[in-house]
Structure 1
Amino acid sequence: MRHNAHRPAQNHARGRVAAWALGLTLAGFVCAGSVLAGPAGPASAHNSVISTTPAAGSVVTEQPGVFQVTTNDDLLKLDTPGAMRMQISGPADAATPLYYGDGCSTVFGPTLEAKAQLGEPGKYTVAWQVVSTDGHTISGDFAFTWQPAAGQELATGSSIPPDCGGTITGGTTQTDAATPAAPATDTAALGDVLWIGGAVAAVILATVVTLVAVGRRKPPTGPTGTPPEGTPPTE
């Protein structure tokens, strides 16, 4: 009977060990699943245009002076020549459409802006290029009709695309071309391997502990099914 006084405490300790092992096993599986699923990184999406000045397809009767393309998110303001640009050209039905403005453009938050005065009446096209917050170059164009009202001064265009004081080369735009990215490193991959290895080790350890704890719950029996000699009687 003296030995039986310790049995509730032993059973309680074994129960705690089993519960701890079960919890560790579950934690190991959760950890491994999270690592294998991969980190939830930020969504990557190009900026999209929400408005232009002048509005696409509109008829303009007064010199706009300022041309804008506004997107849904901030743009990257880069010093790289040609990374952001805006070119205004027209009229479309002219023998040789001319370019207007000095080719310089500026980024203000989500907006690309350039200044120019228009020439002869007709359809004009604004071609633009910017770098979105995901690091990709996006570009496009929109058109409007210029019908100057009486008294509007007309600018003299140029047959050569303006290059903003010689800082831009060429006159074409690039559509959805990715800017060069930094070489990828193996840091993330190494971290994943270490996490997966740790999770697997935790699961194995928890399983072993659980099996040992469960195995100790049942007292050993002799060949005839009775406790061997020296085993304290149970109530």
Structure 2
Amino acid sequence: MSEPLIRVIDLETAGNSANDVCEIGWQDVARDVGGCWALTENRGALFVNPGRPITTETMAIHHILDEQVADAPFWKDLAPRVLRPEGGVVALAAHRAAFEQRYCTDRLTGGLPWICTWKCALRLWPDLPRFSNQMLRYQRMPEGLVHEIGLPAHRAMPDAYVTAHHLRDMLNIAPFDQLVAWSAEPGLLPRVPAGPDRGKGWDRLTDEALMGYLRDRDGDVRFSAQTELTKRGALAPAVAETPAQGSLL
């Protein structure tokens, strides 16, 4: 492998079980001749047979039909060659990667590190109002993103293509190791996502209010409150919890 390669992936599923993937898409990102990170020409998508009917709820999101996946390979047979392509990759990436990690287990990935572009966006662009993949697309309007290639949304390759533009820009701002480290921690939310303090920055809350958020059910909320209290010297440094999806902003 001449240059470090990161594979951005996106999954569409038929349900929530471990083998319910019905489509995987990818877009590779690598360093260009000038040393900057850039999208490569390597992207694609493959159908996967989930071994069960696709639910109407998920069909209404991605519009993948049972007959389209009937003759496709099963996830356990297809996943390794997409997640660990010939020549290798140094990491996998996804937006809200905790979802993809439910299906892309270490056994299938070989224990590759992950970059979660959602968690990294919270760190790098905290002033943005929203952090979903598509909202970042239109708030940021990444250079070089071909509108038509990034459509339709909620299909594996177009979504991976959009995510890859966010990842490219992140890698050109922050070191690879930093993105991996942020991705291994809960999300550092720039604002309180719900409740009476919704929309407030954590620095606007009293110590008492922050202490209350340490009991929240959402791991991202707890981590964010703990981080602010640590800045104030009110707590020992935060210890990363198991990565969580967290709340949409």
Instruction: Compare the two structures and name the one with the higher helix fraction.
Output: 2
TM-score normalised by length of structure 2: 0.21
TM-score normalised by length of structure 1: 0.22
Instruction: Compare the two structures and name the one with the higher strand fraction.
Output: 1
Larger radius of gyration: 1
Higher RCO (CA-CA < 8 Å; seq separation 6+): 1
